[in-house]
Amino acid sequence: MVHEQVHISRTPGDVAANVASVLLERLAQAQTEGRVASVVLTGGSLAREVHRAVAEHADSGTVDWGRVDFWWGDERFVPADDGDRNAGQAWEDMLSRLPVDPARVHAMPAADDSYEDLDAAAWSHGEQLHDWVAAREPWFDVLMLGIGPDGHCASLFPGHPAVASEADVVPVHDSPKPPPRRISFGLGTLMRARHVMFAAAGADKAAAVAASVAGGDVHAAPSAGPRGTETTGWYVDEAAAEQAQVRR
Ligand code: 6PG
């Protein structure tokens, strides 16, 4: 049975700690079941807190970090050394502090010379993803997502044509939130994880969290779309949970 639940913590720090510990459990579980574990990371301030919390558990021994594949649900299409890159931030906060296998870190292309063209970069990353997923079903163990106050998730924004794209990896032109050029997993790809973990904190997220939990029109609120094949969890603080219809 597919399980959906809102997990409410008191503070944003508590949310991050909870998400980090559930993520570690899920990765360890995947490895116990004999798989190379996989996680799709996201950006944003709360995700950064989660990453730092995970890095603190580097030595816990429950996860074999060399046998974890890392992907991103979206990326800002800026040069590789730009501090805005989700991948760069994740390296700084977490990956550089864990014994990961660099070959299993699948960062999205950066806007450097070889990938000047956004459409070509998204296409090329899609090819890389297709090679990797070949025999996997579902594709990912865990998919992490933030939620914007406007209801966006990954780099899929309300009313933006990228939401309707059937591509697995989508070039996002004219993002309403800077930077304007981004790459995002398409909505279809965001449906291909065992466990979807949304994390959000703050009163400005309350309406968007409610829309995400309720489901419904993904063009109005893209975060209403992604669901895990086994579980979907919203990890929120009390302020962000305020408008969601939840069983407490
Ligand atoms: C971006 C941001 C954005 C972020 C959410 C949640 O790409 O512009 O990363 O998508 O993930 O808005 O961010 P916070 O955790 O900072 O609220």
Question: What is the pLDDT at residue 113?
Answer: 61
To the nearest whole percent, how much of the chain has pLDDT over 70? 97
Least confident of 53-62, 163-172, 205-214: 53-62
CA-nearest residue for atom 2, ligand 1, is 44
Instruction: For a ligand 1 pocket test, name from 19, 40, 45 the mutation site with the most ligand atoms within 8 angstroms of its C-beta.
Output: 45
* Distance (Å) of CA 40 to CA 66, 75, 105, 145, 179: 16, 12, 10, 8, 21
pLDDT in tens, 117-157: 999 999 999 999 999 998 788 999 999 999 999 999 999 99
The answer, yes or no, to whether any atom of ligand 1 lies below 6 A from the CB of 73, is: no
Report the pLDDT value the prediction gives residue 169, as an integer from 0 to 100. Answer: 98
Ligand 1: does its nearest atom lie under 6 Å from the Cβ of 45?
yes
Residue at 18: amino acid letter:
N
What percent of the chain clears pLDDT 90, i.e. is strictly above it? 92
Kindly tell me if the per-residue pLDDT of 1 is higher than 60: no
CA-42 nearest atom, ligand 1 = 11
Length of the chain: 248
Instruction: Summarize the confidence of residues 191-201 as an average pLDDT.
Output: 98
Q: Distance between alpha carbon 161 and the CA centroid of its chain, in Å?
A: 20
Cβ of 151 less than 6 Å from ligand 1? no
The Cα 214–Cα 172 span in angstroms is: 26
Of all protein residues, the one whose alpha carbon is nearest to atom 3 of ligand 1 is 44
CA 70 – CA 57 distance, rounded (Å): 17
85 CA distance to ligand 1 centroid (A)? 12
Three-state secondary structure readout of the chain: CCEEEEEEECCHHHHHHHHHHHHHHHHHHHHHCCCCEEEEECCCHHHHHHHHHHHHCCCCCCCCHHHEEEEECEEECCCCCCCCCHHHHHHHHCHHHCCCCHHHECCCCCCCHHHCCHHHHHHHHHHHHHHHHCCCCCCEEEEEEECCCCCCECCECCCCHHHHCCCCEEEECCCCCCCCCEEEECCCHHHCEEEEEEEECCHHHHHHHHHHHHCCCCCCCHHHCCCCCCEEEEEEEHHHHCCCCCCC
Residues 36-91: pLDDT tens digits? 999 999 999 999 999 999 999 877 789 999 999 999 999 999 999 999 999 999 99
pLDDT value of residue 75: 98
Sorting pLDDT into bands at 50, 70 and 90, what band is 23? very high
Query: What are the φ and ψ backbone dihedral angles of 221, each rounded to 5 degrees?
Result: -145, 95
185: Cα within 13 Å, side-chain hemisphere = 29
Residue nearest to atom 4 of ligand 1 (CA): 44
Q: What atom in ligand 1 is closest to the CA of residue 175?
A: 8
The protein residue with its alpha carbon nearest to ligand 1, atom 8, reads 177
Rounded Cα distance, 194 and 226, in Å:
11
Atom of ligand 1 nearest to the CA of 152: 10
Does 16 have pLDDT greater than 80?
Answer: yes
Q: How confident is the model at residue 135, as a pLDDT? A: 77
Query: Span 215-231, mean pLDDT?
Result: 97
Counting from 1 in the atom list of ligand 1, the atom nearest the Cα of 86 is 9
